[in-house]
């Protein structure tokens, strides 16, 4: 039986076996380095994802805090609106009261002027023209306040 040249020559077979062994060791080293690289990247990726999750958690807390602040601002604005409406109603009531008092004072001024005219002996027609009272009121004032 004829053996191939490599098998018949011991030295060539030995070199071939060494080359094949080195080739297998090289592939084993490459596979080992790939496994280390993948493991290292996995650890880096896990750290990166952990940082991203932490950032998202902080961002969520910030958004929640902003939501709470906006809610408080909205409540404060609602309170301000109701206070403003209350103040407007109060101011309107004050205006009405001041107008009523002013009308009363001007009415009293008219009556005081008419009484003074009646006491000084003025006629009913003069009292009517100067004060705007009716003729019957002017005549009644003259009867009660004439000297």
pLDDT digits (tens, 9 = 90+) for 92-122: 878 877 777 766 666 677 888 888 888 888 8
pLDDT at 125 over 80: yes
How many other β-carbons are positioned within 10 Å of the β-carbon of residue 124?
20
Q: Which positions ≥6 away from 5 have C-beta within 8 Å?
A: 12
Give the model confidence (pLDDT) of 34-64 as tens digits: 999 999 999 898 999 999 999 999 999 999 9
For residue 106, what pLDDT is reported? Answer: 60
Averaged pLDDT score across all residues of the chain: 85
pLDDT at 1 over 60: no
């Amino acid at each position: 039986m004829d053996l191939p040249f490599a098998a018949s020559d011991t030295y060539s077979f030995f070199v071939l076996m060494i080359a094949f062994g080195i080739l297998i060791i090289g592939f084993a080293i490459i596979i080992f380095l790939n496994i280390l690289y993948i493991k290292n990247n996995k650890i880096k990726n896990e750290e990166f994802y952990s940082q991203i999750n932490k950032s998202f958690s902080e961002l969520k807390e910030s958004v929640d805090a902003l939501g709470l602040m906006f809610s408080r601002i909205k409540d404060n604005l609602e309170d301000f609106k109701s206070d403003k409406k209350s103040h407007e109603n109060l101011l309107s009531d004050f205006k009405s009261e001041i107008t009523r008092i002013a009308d009363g004072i001007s009415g009293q001024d008219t009556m005081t002027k008419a009484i003074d005219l009646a006491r000084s002996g003025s006629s009913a027609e003069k009292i009517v023209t100067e004060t705007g009272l009716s003729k019957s009121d002017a005549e009644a004032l003259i009867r009660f306040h004439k000297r």
